[in-house]
Chain A
């Protein structure tokens, strides 16, 4: 069974204090690892897709990395507006389908204080 574990459950940072969120996974054939941001009362907002170990992607203050067992979301010099729940999800399994179900972690609640 595919499993995704995110840590920590909650993270409080001061503005400008860089840190990392962790996503550990076990899947039978990773097809993609996804990071989303979710604000309260809203749907998840897509951030990154990573497909293979060693891949890195960046967007503004965020950088996502991937190994064979885990992914990190690095936040550099965060601002209060980066406060949100960050969700990690994996898409697994072989096959010729052009879509795939996602298995989500429980999320990390990030709070950035000014």
Chain B
């Protein structure tokens, strides 16, 4: 149980294009999903908290207009990197918390984004 998937697992795009990453909770409903960014040999950096049916809450320093988050259902959240630039290249990971009140975050496998 508590499986979270991400798609795609890796993506290469040209500078200036937009990329959408999907995060799905496969066997549970998630009222809240989180989006993280991880640099090589570094820990996870929280970018935003996504609640189903409401606007995402972004961490300080994260550009809302560049990283668009949509949590349209209890099993799906999407992160769109708009007008991507090489400095946006990173490993993006989502996590999900279920509706049962149990506070554990379950993580997806991550998406490797490379912007040329």
Contacts and interface: CB of A to CB of B under 8 A. Distances in A.
Interface magnitude class on chain B: 20 to 34
A43 B103 contact: no
Contacts of B67: none
A31 interface: yes
Contact of A44 (B32, B42, B107): B107
Interface magnitude class on chain A: 20 to 34
Nearest to B59: A101
B8 interface: no
25 contacts: A32-B103, A32-B104, A34-B105, A41-B91, A41-B112, A43-B95, A43-B107, A44-B93, A44-B107, A45-B107, A46-B2, A46-B104, A46-B107, A49-B104, A91-B103, A98-B32, A98-B97, A98-B99, A98-B101, A99-B31, A99-B49, A101-B46, A104-B44, A105-B43, A106-B42
